[in-house]
């Protein structure tokens, strides 16, 4: 009976307009962080929108300055019922990408929450103000239903620089490691696989951007006078790329291929369809690793992509052998790939294939994470979410895209559960960003259910978090 009370309190908050009013005020803060400057709105958002409701729920709040100059502040909020109880940590970001004010549909604006049918428009509605507001509402509902006592501790970390590549996040988590000690991590960001059903994802793929470049000589030479006796950098770099990945997108460098897809991951992905949305491209069935389904290729495998190619002047070709050529490439990868050694691996591969003169430069890296799909927390969360929503959920072992989840999974050693409340067509990072009202209402109930279930004696597998933590301290 009382579990229902938790969900009912969350739905009542939505139905009475409380959630809309809270989100409306939050959207009005111009918390752009990708403009290169930390504006006063970033800290104001924490002080005026996050701290008061958290204090009302019994949290002790602390604003932590960013150790990286120009980076936005952090909020660490802790609600400790008893230090001997386990702790769940959550995370959200209050900063947004630039408003792109001039490009919204007639009658819409980034800083004014506007409801049109089921869509609630405004910058941050999907990414991430709407999502952490849902989690805050869900927590408040569970606390109300529990009569003010959850049976576990809660820590909130709110970042104000996620859209600027999270400057200082790693450093702050390292500095504040004791305050951030926890047993489980649950947060919300990104889209569901489909608006129709809840999604649970457990980590993300990582990415390494790298460039292959051949600088043959300081200038180009006439192809009639010199073609046939001068190395052509365009030809050589094309072949260097072709030695890494074949014409059907299959990775040819053994060390950059992921470990085999496990049966548990296959099972999780068996019911997940890729694409099919109104704006989605047609999936190319013959592209990528043979023998894998599209979901397996996207979520559970690695890919080498050519992001940009350059030689000569493609806009206006001339009859000359270009002086140099470059291919900007990217490896998207899953856990178990030795991505830290990418430069060394690619270097050795190129040397072995006769491309010793092609330079390799790594320009950007981000780790991959994935909680084991057989971790007891995964089954626990699935049961809770399916009970609250009355629907089967999509379990994604990891997002195909990237998130700074390694800070939580690797640095803090937490089992990470992500419960997104947005959907693929939400126009995240673009004009007309929006949240779907029915998903917000369902999301509030899902979170109220999770926060309720964490406090059910004997139901939540808290020991699994402790195990993950000690395993990561050992490694």
Contact residues toward Zn ion (CB under 5 A) are 127
Tell me the C-alpha distance between 141 and 91, whole Å.
18
- For residues 370 and 258, is the Cβ–Cβ distance under 8 A? no
Q: How many residues does the chain have?
A: 475
Closest distance to Zn ion from the beta carbon of 330 (Å): 19
Q: Please state, in angstroms and as integers, the Cα–Cα distance from residue 192 to each residue in 131, 278, 312, following that order.
A: 12, 15, 43
- For residues 88 and 182, is the Cβ–Cβ distance under 8 A? yes
Quick one: DSSP state of residue 112? B
Closest distance to Zn ion from the beta carbon of 203 (Å): 17
Closest to Zn ion by CB, 152 vs 201, is 201
Closest distance to Zn ion from the beta carbon of 63 (Å): 22
Closest distance to Zn ion from the beta carbon of 93 (Å): 8
Tell me the C-alpha distance between 49 and 51, whole Å.
6
Residue 167 CA from chain centroid, whole number: 15
Task: Please give the residue whose beta carbon sits closest to Zn ion in the complex.
Answer: 127
The set of residues, in sequence order, having a beta carbon less than 8 Å from that of 446 and lying 6+ positions away, is: 138, 198, 384, 385, 388, 389, 419
Closest to Zn ion by CB, 168 vs 288, is 168
Closest to Zn ion by CB, 85 vs 427, is 427
Closest distance to Zn ion from the beta carbon of 429 (Å): 6
Closest to Zn ion by CB, 113 vs 300, is 113
H helices of 431-475, in order, are: 437-453, 462-474
Question: What are the φ and ψ backbone dihedral angles of 443, each rounded to 5 degrees?
Answer: -60, -40
Closest to Zn ion by CB, 429 vs 441, is 429
Closest distance to Zn ion from the beta carbon of 277 (Å): 19
Closest to Zn ion by CB, 128 vs 337, is 128
Closest distance to Zn ion from the beta carbon of 216 (Å): 40
Closest to Zn ion by CB, 206 vs 220, is 206
What are the structure tokens assigned to 149, written together?
Answer: 């006592």
Owner of token pair 């590549």: 165
């Amino acid at each position: 009976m009382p579990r229902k009370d938790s969900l009912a309190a969350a739905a009542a908050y939505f139905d009475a307009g409380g959630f809309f009013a809270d989100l409306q005020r939050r959207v009005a803060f111009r918390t752009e962080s990708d403009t290169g400057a930390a504006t006063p709105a970033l800290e104001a958002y924490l002080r005026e929108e996050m701290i008061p409701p958290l204090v009302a729920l019994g949290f002790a709040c602390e604003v932590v300055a960013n150790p990286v100059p120009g980076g936005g502040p952090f909020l660490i909020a802790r609600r400790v019922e008893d230090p001997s109880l386990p702790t769940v940590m959550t995370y959200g970001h209050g900063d947004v990408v630039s408003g792109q004010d001039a490009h919204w549909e007639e009658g819409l604006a980034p800083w004014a929450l506007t409801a049109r049918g089921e869509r609630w428009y405004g910058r941050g509605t999907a990414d991430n103000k709407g999502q952490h507001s849902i989690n805050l509402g869900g927590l408040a509902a569970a606390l109300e239903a529990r009569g003010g006592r959850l049976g576990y501790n809660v820590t909130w970390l709110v970042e104000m620089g996620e859209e600027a590549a999270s400057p200082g996040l790693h450093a702050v988590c390292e500095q504040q490691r004791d305050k951030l000690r926890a047993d489980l991590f649950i947060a919300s960001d990104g889209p569901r696989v489909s608006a129709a059903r809840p999604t649970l994802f457990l980590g993300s793929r990582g990415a390494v951007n790298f460039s292959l470049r051949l600088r043959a000589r300081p200038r180009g030479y006439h192809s009639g006078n010199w073609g046939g006796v001068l190395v052509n950098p365009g030809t050589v770099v094309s072949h260097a790329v072709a030695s890494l990945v074949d014409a059907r997108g299959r990775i040819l460098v053994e060390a950059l291929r992921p470990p085999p897809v496990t049966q548990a991951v296959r099972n999780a992905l068996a019911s997940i369809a890729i694409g099919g949305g109104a704006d989605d491209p047609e999936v190319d069935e013959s592209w990528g690793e043979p023998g894998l389904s599209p979901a397996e290729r996207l979520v559970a495998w690695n890919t080498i992509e050519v992001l940009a190619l350059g030689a000569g002047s493609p806009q206006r070709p001339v009859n000359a052998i270009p002086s140099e050529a470059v291919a900007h490439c990217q490896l998207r990868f899953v856990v178990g790939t030795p991505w830290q050694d990418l430069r060394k691996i690619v270097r050795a591969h190129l040397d072995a294939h006769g491309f010793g003169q092609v330079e390799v430069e790594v320009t950007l890296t981000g780790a991959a994470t994935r909680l084991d799909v057989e971790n007891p927390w995964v089954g626990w969360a699935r049961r809770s979410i399916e009970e609250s929503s009355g629907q089967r959920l999509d379990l994604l072992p990891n997002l195909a895209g990237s998130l700074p989840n390694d800070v939580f999974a690797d640095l803090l050693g937490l089992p990470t559960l992500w419960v997104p409340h947005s959907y693929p067509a939400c126009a995240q990072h673009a004009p007309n960003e929006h949240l779907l009202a029915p998903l917000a209402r369902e999301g509030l109930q899902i979170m109220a259910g999770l926060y309720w279930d964490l406090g059910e004696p004997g139901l939540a597998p808290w020991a699994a978090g402790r195990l993950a933590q000690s395993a990561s301290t050992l490694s």
